[in-house]
A and B are shown apart, each in its own frame.
Chain A
């Protein structure tokens, strides 16, 4: 069976999705790609060739002489200033990187956006978006992007958006493995074209702070053990990803690291319109409610839960480490 060819390009981003990808364990990244029957045509961090040899390879793809099965772009396309693309000219070519991406995508059987920058614009599009950063098929939550709404691959799949900032290594290698085996269909993608195998979950699922959440026993400052939804800006009950089910770096997640989920798989996460680390509230109630939860029920349940909070949780929630283990040390509330 011929191997599926895959070039990997970067533009307006930090390279963090590639570095995260190198965290892949058992088997390691290159072994995973080999088992997935993928031939890495070029990657900025691990390939030998550069300079004219790389330009020849890219031109061979554009001319149709080298088959392109899966094109991966990590980072946003940058159109600025004033549509000229000069905020990133591919070095050695005097040509804006976004035009290279367009030319290559027109030859690709499938295009994959790796990370929220490539998918939606991401962090590079924050602030006033002076650099005119956009995603491959989205500009923030608006469909379109660099390649346009109509773009689809040979199997009628749109751009596959492996959103995240950064992406989990498994999200990337599992998506690529499925694509290489022609085993990813449009039904397997969600409303933002993200692979459902990880976005059919909420970050809330498997959160180690769930008991604090149930009783609205809330953290008040960095390092506290309690639920971070009420005060600390945590969006885990709305964010779509399996971060607390699939461990990061062996055992971690944002919540396990003691800090809020910033919903980094969502379009526009880079501009929450309030501080990332403080929950915006209206009349004392968080503005963003848990997914699918009617406001009246949330308010009713929250006030009931607060009234029922065991002393153990109330005190542990505002401590850095467990003061009271379950069933010991604290009198039951009357």
Chain B
């Protein structure tokens, strides 16, 4: 399907949580330009206007079935600021456990169900590694799926204990959580986390989490993979090396993280921005007031605005090519996600990989897998920090007639923000910027392409574009969530 402009339309693209369409232009055997279209508009920001503020806790998780808890946590954060409520310590820890469970389950789903099956596609059948990878990762029938689905479902039992159910829980409240945990509940939490650790150490890593977490350089990563060849991590790394995945989807945008897993002070993975100064990574000051959403390439009316005063007015007659706005931080294109989170947090392995090779397909996947090794031990610690005699939810019965609030959270896929304003006791405005809104944004007024759009440029292509697997790897390396993107 090629149109008169010499652009080829790619879609429907699956394993991206929602619907996605991409146009690419090719010159001299490489992608010259790409345009990313998020084709689904539902209008949550308009639905929320006029509702009772606390009802945001019912509507916003339903933006997304895969980032549901992250949406709840962002909404609860915005409401806490509006209500001037501080969550209890127990509530904060239980929220972190619930969010960590969702984030890691999402990483697992991404790696095994969304990303790896592309290496089992017929396009690679002449590769020497093909048969083994296909036997392991083939969509639906690969051997891994029989281990992964039970491990994921068992791990998600944490949400049955902590949050009643997943997705779409109402347990995540401005004052903490609505489910006070007993000592026996905490025993069950620890058992499930322990089983998940066992799965990761046996199946994914073929070694202890602490050793993976301690990897500090590319050389150490390579040595570790050679010494632990029976894990799916090593299988991925060997395919990555064979296909030079570090050369695909390479970009050098600034990295943003709102900070993940709130502690009594600061975050477990810190908040910040890291940009480029020549070939060096350089921390920058995060100015939240410098976030804007630009609508030049979207079927939306209105001028670029900060989300606290932003608006959403769909108009299919507007010149544009996506329903997605283009968020920018200080006018700059910004990448979010596990890689950004770990670069901002200063993990030595990712810093080493990114300094050398920028952001790319391999590094984005390594960052996600590394987070298993970092977060599961943290979850074990958090269980110990719960105090079953203390409160889980702070009183939150005040309902001020006016107010504002911002909820910032790190979802699996990166930085998610909710901006709430209340007038006369009702939601006056509610704006959401989701991780994939950043990563899959279209061009802005200055003509700057969004992160995926520039990651696709220069990709070598041959033969039928629809069967060009490097393009598919680049797209899925971001673990896009298209239902969140436009919302």
Q: Show the binding face of A for B, using Cβ within 8 Å.
A: 10-20, 22-26, 28-31, 40, 44-55, 78, 81, 84, 86-93, 97, 123-124, 126-128, 130-131, 133, 165-166, 221-223, 247-260, 262, 264, 274-278, 320-321
Contact (A320, B392) CB under 8 Å given A47-B140, A89-B39, A127-B46? yes
Please give 16 more A-B residue pairs, beta carbons under 8 A apart, in addition to A87-B40, A256-B179, A257-B163: A22-B153, A23-B152, A23-B166, A45-B14, A49-B14, A50-B12, A50-B14, A91-B12, A91-B19, A127-B49, A222-B178, A223-B177, A249-B160, A252-B165, A255-B164, A256-B164
User: Is the pair B168, A165 in contact by a Cβ cutoff of 8 Å?
Assistant: yes
Contact (A15, B65) CB under 8 Å given A46-B140, A48-B117? yes
User: Is the pair B55, A277 in contact by a Cβ cutoff of 8 Å?
Assistant: yes
Residues of A close to B146: CB separation below 8 A: 28, 31
User: Is the pair A15, B41 in contact by a Cβ cutoff of 8 Å?
Assistant: no
Residues of B close to A91: CB separation below 8 A: 11-13, 19-21, 37, 39
User: Is the pair B153, A23 in contact by a Cβ cutoff of 8 Å?
Assistant: yes
User: Is the pair B42, A124 in contact by a Cβ cutoff of 8 Å?
Assistant: yes
Residues of A close to B175: CB separation below 8 A: 222-223
Contact (A250, B19) CB under 8 Å given A52-B1, A127-B46? no
User: Is the pair A25, B168 in contact by a Cβ cutoff of 8 Å?
Assistant: no
Contact (A22, B152) CB under 8 Å given A91-B20, A123-B62? yes
Contact string against A for B residues 39-59, beta-carbon threshold 8 Å, 1 for contact and 0 otherwise: 111110011111110110111
Cβ < 8 Å to A, chain B residues 162-180: 162-171, 173, 175-180
**For the complex, is B310 an interface residue (Cβ under 8 Å from A)?**
no
Interface size class of B (residues with CB under 8 A): 35 or more
**For the complex, is B448 an interface residue (Cβ under 8 Å from A)?**
no
User: Is the pair B12, A321 in contact by a Cβ cutoff of 8 Å?
Assistant: no
User: Is the pair B314, A249 in contact by a Cβ cutoff of 8 Å?
Assistant: no
A241 to B13, CA, bound (A): 35
Contact string against A for B residues 146-167, beta-carbon threshold 8 Å, 1 for contact and 0 otherwise: 1001101110111111111111
User: Is the pair A90, B12 in contact by a Cβ cutoff of 8 Å?
Assistant: yes
User: Is the pair A166, B19 in contact by a Cβ cutoff of 8 Å?
Assistant: no
B429 to chain A, nearest CB (A): 14
User: Is the pair B59, A123 in contact by a Cβ cutoff of 8 Å?
Assistant: yes
Q: What are 11 A-to-B residue pairs whose CB atoms are below 8 Å? A: A16-B62, A17-B65, A23-B152, A23-B156, A47-B15, A88-B19, A127-B50, A223-B173, A254-B164, A264-B168, A276-B54
A278 to B53, CA, bound (A): 12
A127 to B13, CA, bound (A): 30
**Nearest B residue to A54 by beta-carbon distance?**
B12
Residues of B close to A252: CB separation below 8 A: 159-161, 163-165
A300 to B397, CA, bound (A): 29
Q: Which of B40, B121, B182 contacts A48 (CB 8 A)?
A: B121
**Nearest A residue to B388 by beta-carbon distance?**
A321
B54 to chain A, nearest CB (A): 5
User: Is the pair B41, A259 in contact by a Cβ cutoff of 8 Å?
Assistant: no
Residues of A close to B150: CB separation below 8 A: 25-26, 28
User: Is the pair B63, A14 in contact by a Cβ cutoff of 8 Å?
Assistant: yes
A235 to chain B, nearest CB (A): 12
Q: Which of B14, B145, B170, B397 contacts A30 (CB 8 A)?
A: B145
A139 to B139, CA, bound (A): 36
A321 to B185, CA, bound (A): 12
User: Is the pair B62, A276 in contact by a Cβ cutoff of 8 Å?
Assistant: no
Residues of A close to B168: CB separation below 8 A: 16, 165-166, 264
**Nearest B residue to A31 by beta-carbon distance?**
B146
Residues of A close to B81: CB separation below 8 A: none
**For the complex, is B406 an interface residue (Cβ under 8 Å from A)?**
no
Residues of B close to A97: CB separation below 8 A: 19
**Nearest A residue to B166 by beta-carbon distance?**
A249
A221 to chain B, nearest CB (A): 6
User: Is the pair B140, A40 in contact by a Cβ cutoff of 8 Å?
Assistant: yes
Residues of A close to B305: CB separation below 8 A: none
**For the complex, is B138 an interface residue (Cβ under 8 Å from A)?**
yes
**Nearest A residue to B64 by beta-carbon distance?**
A14
Residues of A close to B166: CB separation below 8 A: 20, 23, 248-249
**For the complex, is B66 an interface residue (Cβ under 8 Å from A)?**
yes
B217 to chain A, nearest CB (A): 35
B174 to chain A, nearest CB (A): 9
**Nearest A residue to B389 by beta-carbon distance?**
A321
User: Is the pair A47, B178 in contact by a Cβ cutoff of 8 Å?
Assistant: no
Contact (A51, B39) CB under 8 Å given A16-B64, A22-B109, A92-B21? no
Residues of A close to B109: CB separation below 8 A: 19, 22, 45
**For the complex, is B84 an interface residue (Cβ under 8 Å from A)?**
no
A44 to B482, CA, bound (A): 12
Residues of A close to B392: CB separation below 8 A: 223, 320
Residues of A close to B47: CB separation below 8 A: 123, 126-127
Residues of A close to B18: CB separation below 8 A: 10, 15, 44
**For the complex, is B10 an interface residue (Cβ under 8 Å from A)?**
yes
A61 to chain B, nearest CB (A): 15
Residues of B close to A11: CB separation below 8 A: 40
**Nearest A residue to B16 by beta-carbon distance?**
A44
**Nearest A residue to B185 by beta-carbon distance?**
A251
Residues of A close to B397: CB separation below 8 A: 221
User: Is the pair A81, B316 in contact by a Cβ cutoff of 8 Å?
Assistant: yes
Q: Which of A14, A18, A93, A248 contacts B165 (CB 8 A)?
A: A248
Contact (A130, B46) CB under 8 Å given A17-B65, A20-B65? yes
B316 to chain A, nearest CB (A): 5
User: Is the pair B139, A47 in contact by a Cβ cutoff of 8 Å?
Assistant: yes
A247 to B14, CA, bound (A): 31
Residues of B close to A20: CB separation below 8 A: 65, 166-167
Contact (A45, B65) CB under 8 Å given A127-B43, A251-B161? no
Q: Which of A44, A53, A257 contacts B171 (CB 8 A)?
A: A257
Residues of A close to B388: CB separation below 8 A: 321
A99 to B476, CA, bound (A): 28
Shortest 4 CB-CB distances between A and B: which pairs? A257-B164, A16-B65, A91-B11, A249-B160
A309 to B484, CA, bound (A): 47
B213 to chain A, nearest CB (A): 27
Residues of B close to A45: CB separation below 8 A: 14-15, 17, 109, 113-114
Q: Which of B63, B157, B162, B314 contacts A130 (CB 8 A)?
A: B314
**Nearest A residue to B178 by beta-carbon distance?**
A258
User: Is the pair B14, A131 in contact by a Cβ cutoff of 8 Å?
Assistant: no
**Nearest B residue to A87 by beta-carbon distance?**
B41
A24 to B156, CA, bound (A): 10
User: Is the pair B62, A47 in contact by a Cβ cutoff of 8 Å?
Assistant: no
**Nearest A residue to B63 by beta-carbon distance?**
A14
